[in-house]
Amino acid sequence: MNENLKILVCPLDWGLGHATRMIPVIQQLLDQQIEVIIAADGEALDFLRNEFPNLKSILLPQYKVRYSCRNSQVISMIRVVPAMILSTIKEHLTLKKLVQQEHIDCVISDNRYGLWSKSAHSVFVTHQLRVKFPGYLKLLEPLFQIVVKSIIRHYDECWIPDLPGEINYSGELSHSLTLTNQVFIGPLSRFKATNQSGITKKKYDFAVILSGPEPQRSLLEQKIYNQLKIKNYKTAFVRGVQDKNTLKSTENTEVFERLDSKSLLQIIEASEFVICRSGYSSIMDMIRLRKTAVIIPTPGQTEQEYL
């Protein structure tokens, strides 16, 4: 690629997974002396600003999803559909202005459906070409797949962070449909390889790493914290958020807010087991690091339940 290119990287802010898997993409671009601008919202924007403090970053608002406290998310998700559609239209119009103002050559959108442009090469990153619906809503899956495919066709390329063929990580989510612009780019992980930190001695029995939409993130966090604190397990809690919570470090439990990738890698490698959500980015990280993990899907989130 031409080193004079200017590329806008835009991850979704539903948990940190979309932001974390953009780290190797951004680093690859920087290694090629390409100018990168980060455009995101919420925790994703804060996280990437911390990882790449020298890069220009732009607030690009998106709809703030909030899950129900119940195991089923069907009703809560149906209610927000109109607002999500409106938000997608708004972000598309905002991007149009950004491309002109910043002279953007390429836009890389991780699961933000409205961020394609006729004036810039547009890339859509997803492992979920097929969206699984719960219960009786499964009847709507074929219709939704038509909508998804029609949107992704607006992009010049669709990057799928997985392997082609029968041996893969995302299964039906990305291998049951075929798009003319899809490219399998292989798994994406922010971590280089196992034991990069040089730590061999295990300090913790468990590393608990949680992110994702509230209130389900906090509900799971509190449950695990309450169960582990009455045992003698050495535990590191990585909360993935900046707000101060009621979780307190104890003799056997260390509580961390948000950590950069290097610090998190040290904790993972110093732990016997990892407890985390079954988000796709977390799974790719655990595979890269060859870690034994307890993965817990967000209740009602069919993608994580399937993975």
- Interval 140-183: pLDDT, tens: 888 888 888 999 999 999 999 999 999 999 999 999 888 999 99
Q: Is the pLDDT of residue 196 over 60?
A: no
**Least confidently predicted of 67-71, 147-151, 188-192:** 67-71
Name, of 244-248, 252-256, 268-272, the range with top average pLDDT.
268-272
Please give the average per-residue pLDDT across 219-244, as a whole number: 85
Name, of 152-166, 204-218, 242-256, the range with top average pLDDT.
152-166
Binned at pLDDT 50, 70 and 90, residue 41 comes out as very high
CA 118 vs CA 14, 37, 105, 126, 161: distances in Å:
26, 19, 11, 20, 24
What is residue 193's predicted lDDT score, i.e. its pLDDT?
64
Q: Is the pLDDT of residue 75 over 80?
A: no
Name, of 82-91, 94-103, 257-266, the range with top average pLDDT.
94-103
Radius of gyration of the chain (CA): 19
Please give the average per-residue pLDDT across 244-252, as a whole number: 76
Note whether 196 and 226 are within 8 A (CB). Answer: no
Q: Is the pLDDT of residue 66 over 60?
A: no
What is residue 197's predicted lDDT score, i.e. its pLDDT?
53
Mean pLDDT, the chain, whole residue set: 87
What is residue 215's predicted lDDT score, i.e. its pLDDT?
82
Q: Is the pLDDT of residue 208 over 90?
A: yes
Binned at pLDDT 50, 70 and 90, residue 137 comes out as confident
Separation CA 280–CA 276 (nearest Å): 11
Binned at pLDDT 50, 70 and 90, residue 299 comes out as confident
What is residue 111's predicted lDDT score, i.e. its pLDDT?
93
Please tell me the pTM assigned to this model. Answer: 0.87
Provide the percentage of residues in the chain whose pLDDT is more than 70.
88
290: left (phi over 0), alpha (psi -120 to 50) or beta: left
CA 69 vs CA 16, 170, 219, 238, 240: distances in Å:
20, 27, 8, 21, 19
What is residue 198's predicted lDDT score, i.e. its pLDDT?
54
Secondary structure (H, E, C), 221-258? HHHHHHHHHCCCCCEEEECCCCCCCCCCCCCCEEEECC
What is residue 152's predicted lDDT score, i.e. its pLDDT?
94
What is residue 99's predicted lDDT score, i.e. its pLDDT?
96
